[in-house]
Chain A
Amino acid sequence: AQTVTQSQPEMSVQEAETVTLSCTYDTSESDYYLFWYKQPPSRQMILVIRQEAYKQQNATENRFSVNFQKAAKSFSLKISDSQLGDAAMYFCAYRSGGSGNTPLVFGKGTRLSVIA
């Protein structure tokens, strides 16, 4: 079974600074996808960014980018120019590839605080 580990239960960053959230995963599959979701206090689950395992290029979405190291099974999220609205729980998630209907497997989350 696949597992996802987020080793930082809490992180904090100064507004306008950069922060990196760590995520590692364990799988024997070669075809899979990785995601970061954000959960603000409103409880919504918001997709931040996704990465295809077969792509070497790291995904970016505006201020959010990932460092995907396939051999190391590492998938960290970098948030640049942090804003107060970035304060939230961040979840790393894994999904098996193929055409099936596999669920997301989540890490335990990292709570990010942004300091004004």
Chain B
Amino acid sequence: DTAVSQTPKYLVTQMGNDKSIKCEQNLGHDTMYWYKQDSKKFLKIMFSYNNKELIINETVPNRFSPKSPDKAHLNLHINSLELGDSAVYFCASSHPGGNSPLHFGNGTRLTVT
């Protein structure tokens, strides 16, 4: 019973391509997130959605477009991939309220060549 699942686990693609990462959670959480973990392991918030509505967009290039068809899904589409987009992308979800921890997916390692 995977709580937060992301696909694919690995993604290797060439510069200029468009790719998507899918995320689904079965925890009944209202809020979902995308984080980027760079090569130095730093985790930075990219987007946050609550009940399908965007609530946080942390100055991410507009080549990145999140889409939430329902509150259990938050997909990330990336256009015109660049070398600097290579990273691990984590999806997470939580209940509202600061005391609720985030539950993370296992990450998608994106490699742009």
Contacts and interface: CB of A to CB of B under 8 A. Distances in A.
A19 to B, nearest CB: 19
Interface string A38-67: 010011110100101000000000000000
Interface string B21-54: 0000000001101010000111111001010000
Contacts of A105: 45
Given A35-B101, A43-B88, A47-B101, A101 B41 contact: no
A105 to B, nearest CB: 8
Interface string A87-104: 001010001111111111
Contacts of B55: 101
A100 B96 contact: yes
Chain B interface size range = 20 to 34
B66 interface: no
A96 B44 CA distance: 16
Given A35-B101, A45-B90, A102-B98, A108 B48 contact: no
Contacts of B109: 43
Contacts of B56: 101, 103
B79 interface: no
Contact of B107 (A43, A91, A98, A100): A43
B88 to A, nearest CB: 7
A35 to B, nearest CB: 6
B102 A108 contact: no
B99 A97 contact: yes
B101 A99 contact: no
A101 B56 CA distance: 9
Nearest to A94: B98
Given A103-B45, A108-B40, 20 more contacts: A32-B98, A43-B88, A45-B107, A47-B101, A47-B103, A50-B99, A89-B41, A91-B43, A97-B97, A97-B99, A98-B98, A101-B48, A101-B50, A101-B55, A103-B33, A103-B35, A103-B48, A103-B56, A105-B45, A108-B41
